[in-house]
Structure 1
Amino acid sequence: MSLIRVVWGSATGPTAMSSYDAALADAGVENYNLVSVSSVIPADVDVEAVGTAPDLGPAGERLTVVESRATTVGPGRVSAALAWSQSVDGGPGLFYETSGETDPENVERAVLEGLAAGQELRDWEFDEPNVVVESSDADAGTYTTALALAVYGDSEPIL
């Protein structure tokens, strides 16, 4: 059976891109080229919240992901959330993502509301939702990124 790993991280840096790269490193996926997809979980796939990704293959390869991320320059707070639910019968499921410069409770509420709305559009019977929220304070003059990613399988050659 295939596996989708949910990873998350946050970090600071002198630029928006450097804080994003450092947050990817915190999540264990800094050495891959990320390819974003929408939010459908294929049938018969396990989803596991792992925090930090294991080795997923050689550097420079492609990873398919659903990504929630937010970057801000401080002072302030940044939060990213990823919620998911799968069909009770092993069928497909959904990821929903949201982020913002706000407190983690608001971001969690928003992502769960989005997931519920997406579930209402489908004729699937869903299991209970799962959610991961990554949040971090941003110091004055420093860029901070928070992110949560659903990583589909292992890396694949990009060329």
Structure 2
Amino acid sequence: MTSSTIRVVWGAASAPTAMASYDAALAEAGVENYNLVSVSSVIPADVDVEAVGTAPDLGPAGERLTVVEARATSAGPGRVSAALAWSQSVDDGPGLFYETAGETDREDVERRVREGLAAGQELRDWEFTDPRVAVESSQAESGTYTTALVLAVYGESEPIL
């Protein structure tokens, strides 16, 4: 029985400042109203991972949301890309997320995130399912900042206070 869901969401946006572009990319992913808390990349056992693109309502604004985050921000011109790869144990055991991002194209971040995930799998004695990958990429125009991000969002929000 699945106890919770991790949703993979993504977005890209441009704005006049780096923080504004990050906020706008979070809005594209549907998580702009939460305080994000980053964790390392282990997927708990008995959890579904779903690539949804945009998060549904995950609770009241201002609450804490646990995430694994791949994010790149650049002042244009140029391209920014972010990728998140994951694989779970074949027996509903734990799994792994790996993330990478940079001022590069989507093919480069996808190759790098797959290599990282494969290296992490080699460190563990689990039998893994085939990897899944989500990539977001955007062209940064001159005079603006652009952020591309992919997040794994663990469950729903929780009160921060």
Q: TM-score, normalised by structure 1?
A: 1.00
Q: Structure 1 segments of 4 or more deviating over 2 A?
A: none
Match of 1:8 in 2: 10
- Equivalent pairs: percent with the same residue? 84
Deviation, structure 1 residue 141: 1.2
Give the letter aligned to residue 88 of structure 1: V
Q: 1:53, 1:138 → 2: CA distance? A: 24
- 2:42 pairs with 40, 43, 56, which one? 40
Q: Which runs of 5+ in 1 are unaligned?
A: none
- Correspondence 1:112 to 2:111: no
- Correspondence 1:129 to 2:131: yes
- 1:19 pairs with 18, 21, 27, which one? 21
Q: 2:100, 2:66 → 1: CA distance? A: 18
Match of 1:154 in 2: 156
Q: Give CA-to-partner distance per residue, 1:104-157, whole Å, 9 cap, x none.
A: 001000000000000000000000000000000000011000000000000000
> Aligned to 1:114, what secondary structure does the other structure show?
helix
Give the letter aligned to residue 15 of structure 2: G
User: Number of paired residues?
Assistant: 159
Q: Which runs of 5+ in 2 are unaligned?
A: none
Give the letter aligned to residue 27 of structure 1: A
Q: 1:90, 1:73 → 2: CA distance? A: 42
Q: TM-score, normalised by structure 2?
A: 0.98
Give the letter aligned to residue 146 of structure 2: T
Deviation, structure 1 residue 94: 0.0
